[in-house]
Amino acid sequence: MDVQKVLSGAAAACGPSGQEMLVAEYFAEQFRPYVDEVTVDKMFNVIAHKKGAGPKVMLCAHQDEISLMVTRIEDDGSIRMGTVGGVDPRILPASRVWVHGREKLFGTIGALPPHLMSAEDRSRNYAMKELYVDVGLCAEKVRELVQIGDLITFNVPSTSLLNGQFAAKTMDDRSCVVMMLCAAEFLKKLVCDADVYFVATCQEEVGSQGATTAAFNIDPDIAIALDGDFAKQPGCSPDATMPMDAAVVSVGPYLQPKLTKRLQECAKNHGIKLNVMVAPRATWTDADAVGLARAGVPGILLSLPMKYMHTTVETIDVNTLREAARLLAHYVSELDAGWEEDLWI
């Protein structure tokens, strides 16, 4: 698999929370060569099933992206915005965007120039109400093509960096969906008894609704949630960030300790570097929702470190992604009929 090519395709696909139709179609096609069947459910979760007689394992990573939404059209044709998911207004000025109206319109996000601001205004960050999208059309034409509630997505090309690093929008969390794809590719070369479900979930950025419904439907024995974590970068606390050269397993009350320990032992046995992060309460990932499905699902959280989270240049290490996928494949393939021994009291 050409990982960077698949990542680029994933980043380019439109899929804001609640409207993941196009990115779901993209990932469904990517999974088909590696599994027995692929379905897309009513919420646009992509469920790729590799059939087996062993324990039922659900791996999940979310495919939805943060985005913007039209809230008002001004008399000069500029478009005011609200957010879909966690968009920080500070990243928006000078951004290139697509406005998904009756026609797909290219736009730029503008703001009052600093020369025209008071000293007080210059001393604080932009607020969303001070920003707007300019598509270069008069108000009459904009209102003909755009309506309240239309989505606005970022228009940013993917970029390959040196030393195997890769920058693009939506790496949170489509890079981890690609990690599942790589794991499925690795599993084709391994003996695997587990009944494996790879799930690209929807609506994680607005509350993990997709993970909630998918886990209820699948009713897995074990769940492995995959998401981005914060990589080391200038200005960040070392206690809240991790190096980019290895995936991260979280430990905490929401996560099953013996399954987590087994993952750490699997990494050691296969020469795969794995770092550890503490999650003292909720993880704020799909792991929380899946863990509460039905009567409860024992779970693990494995994260891919990335820089510049929730921006248009989220940056990952492709080798770390592939090594994490290799770990997942070995972990799942080594789950046998006795996987539950000594797991419960």
Q: Which residues are catalytic?
A: 204
Pair 129, 49: CB distance under 8 Å = no
Burial-class residue 16 by CB neighbours within 10 Å (0-12, 13-18, 19+): buried
Q: Calculate the alpha carbon distances from 232 to 193, 243, 307 in Å.
A: 38, 6, 7
Burial-class residue 206 by CB neighbours within 10 Å (0-12, 13-18, 19+): middle
- How do strand 247-251 and strand 274-278 relate by DSSP bridges? parallel
CA-closest candidate to residue 92, choices 122, 123, 65, 132 = 132
Residue 119: both structure tokens together: 């000293």
Residue 219: both structure tokens together: 């009713």
Question: How is the beta sheet containing 247-251 ordered, strand by strand?
Answer: 37-40, 46-50, 195-201, 56-62, 222-230, 299-306, 247-251, 274-278
Give the Cα separation of 129 and 81 in Å (integer).
8
